[in-house]
């Protein structure tokens, strides 16, 4: 019991340390680095959502780029209309549109920012209902989610007049009237990202710490047993899928103003798989592992690709192989293992000391 508590609590302690370091980071880093770190935080948020569905519930979605992208596009559309000042956004005039399309109209209203959550959640609800109800599982679900990602990329590239095509949405200028180029805005966005990281982490921690968290793990371990224990796993799986998609949407919305562009390239299969790799490297089924994995891998990525741009993909691939073979539980699993070894070793030592007098 003690070991369990000992292992359980450190996740939250670690999270606290990460948050404090992130809060203090502007004291040490340039505004360029802070902006970059803000992007990594959006990835960390995304990764927490993937951990909830993959690490806990055992559903491997290889199409989370779609939900990330939908949240990002919703934010991008809002920013784009803000930049257009009541006129038609630039790329639409290039494509020969004369009026703002109906699907764009609501995005002039700040309330439309709710679509950041609603659209991914709705899509997940529909897809989740159709797949989970028909008991499409495992690798079949993964393949389906990849197809989803492919469909959306093709759709967004094809509808250039409505989506900006391959280039996506870019050249935003202000957010709520604040210039995106200003250092102050960048700090505000950075701190807002941290706030959302805390909110999302807390939400997921709440879920996994309650009975539902155990049911999710139970679904991962034996869906049939869950069903014959009287639960309807379909509803739980749809709930997790929706939660995870909404979280990805939030992450996308945080990504856009800091990076300044969203294009179909961010929604594709390759980025979707990369997201899963962050969680695998950090350690799945821990939440904190997802945060560490996302920030660490992306930190390394920008570090390595700044100096040796050509070796990054090899490096990522190699890391993934090493993680899968040598530390299936990821970095967090590795630390846990050594921590509990240390603990049992300490315990044994105590026992030996206790026994020693009786031997004499």
Partner 1 sequence: MNTILEIKDLIISFDGFYAVNNVNTKINKGEIRFFIGPNGAGKTTLLDAICGRIKPQHGSIIFNNNKNVLHYAEHELVNIGIGRKFQVPSVFTSLSVYENMEISVVKNRGIFSAIFNNITKSQREKINTILELVDLFDYRYRKASELSHGQKQWLEIAMLLVQDLQLILLDEPVAGMGRKETTKTGELLQKIAAHCTVIVVEHDMQFVREYASMVTVLHEGAVLDEGSVNHIQNNPKVIDVYLGRGGENCA
Residues lying near partner 1 in the complex (CB under 8 A): 1, 4, 207, 210-212, 214-215, 217-218, 220-222, 224-233, 235-236, 239
Q: Which is nearer to partner 1, 189 or 279 (CB)?
A: 279
Q: Which is nearer to partner 1, 211 or 346 (CB)?
A: 211
Rounded least distance, CB 5 to partner 1, Å: 11
Of 286, 215, 335, 235, the closest CA to residue 54 belongs to 286
Rounded least distance, CB 236 to partner 1, Å: 6
The two structure tokens encoding residue 186: 């960048």
Rounded least distance, CB 341 to partner 1, Å: 17
CA triplet 127, 130, 136: central angle to 5 degrees? Answer: 100
Write the CB contacts of 156 (distance below 8 Å, at least 6 apart in sequence): 69, 73, 163, 165, 168, 264, 267
Question: Tokens 């997940």 label which residue?
Answer: 124
Q: Which is nearer to partner 1, 5 or 85 (CB)?
A: 5
Q: Which is nearer to partner 1, 161 or 212 (CB)?
A: 212
> What phi and psi, each to the nearest 5 degrees, are found at residue 336?
-55, -45
Q: Which is nearer to partner 1, 7 or 88 (CB)?
A: 7
Rounded least distance, CB 157 to partner 1, Å: 37
Q: How far is CA 295 from CA 228, 244, 285, in A?
A: 40, 19, 17
Rounded least distance, CB 72 to partner 1, Å: 28
β-bridge pairing 169-170 and 261-262: antiparallel
Q: Which is nearer to partner 1, 228 or 326 (CB)?
A: 228
The two structure tokens encoding residue 315: 């490096």
Write the CB contacts of 145 (distance below 8 Å, at least 6 apart in sequence): 60, 61, 62, 63, 64, 272
Rounded least distance, CB 216 to partner 1, Å: 9
Rounded least distance, CB 215 to partner 1, Å: 6
Q: Which is nearer to partner 1, 236 or 255 (CB)?
A: 236
Sign of CA dihedral 304, 308, 310, 311: negative
Of 169, 215, 291, the closest CA to residue 58 belongs to 215
């Amino acid at each position: 019991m003690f070991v369990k508590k000992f292992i359980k609590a450190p996740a939250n302690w670690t999270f606290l340390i990460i948050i404090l370091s992130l809060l203090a980071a502007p004291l040490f880093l340039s505004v360029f680095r802070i902006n970059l770190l803000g992007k990594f935080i959006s990835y960390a948020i995304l990764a927490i959502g993937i951990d909830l569905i993959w690490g806990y519930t055992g559903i491997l979605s290889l199409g989370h780029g779609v939900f990330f992208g939908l949240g990002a596009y919703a934010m991008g559309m809002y920013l784009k209309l803000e930049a257009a000042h009541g006129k038609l956004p630039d790329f639409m005039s290039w494509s020969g549109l004369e009026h703002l399309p109906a699907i764009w109209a609501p995005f002039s209203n700040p309330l439309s920012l709710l679509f950041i959550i609603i659209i991914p959640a709705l899509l997940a609800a529909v897809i989740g209902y159709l797949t989970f109800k028909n008991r499409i599982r495992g690798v079949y679900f993964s393949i389906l989610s990849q197809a989803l990602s492919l469909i959306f990329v093709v759709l967004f590239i094809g509808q250039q007049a409505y989506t900006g095509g391959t280039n996506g949405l870019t050249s935003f200028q202000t957010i709520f009237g604040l210039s995106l180029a200003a250092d102050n805005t960048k700090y505000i966005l950075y701190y807002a990202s941290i706030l959302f990281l805390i909110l999302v982490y807390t939400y997921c921690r709440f879920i996994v710490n309650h009975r539902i968290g155990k049911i999710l793990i139970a679904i991962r371990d034996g869906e049939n047993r869950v069903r014959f224990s009287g639960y309807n796993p379909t509803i739980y799986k749809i709930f997790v899928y929706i939660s995870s998609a909404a979280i990805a949407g939030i992450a996308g919305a945080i990504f856009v103003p800091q990076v300044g562009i969203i294009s179909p390239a961010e929604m594709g299969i390759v980025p979707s798989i990369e997201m899963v790799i962050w969680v695998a490297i950090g350690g799945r089924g821990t939440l904190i592992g997802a945060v560490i994995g996302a920030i660490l891998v992306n930190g390394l990525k920008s570090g390595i690709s700044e100096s040796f741009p050509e070796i990054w993909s090899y490096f990522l691939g190699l890391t993934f192989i090493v993680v899968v073979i040598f530390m299936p539980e990821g970095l967090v699993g590795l630390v846990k293992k050594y921590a509990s070894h240390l603990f049992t070793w300490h315990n044994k030592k105590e026992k030996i000391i206790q026994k020693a007098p009786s031997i004499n």
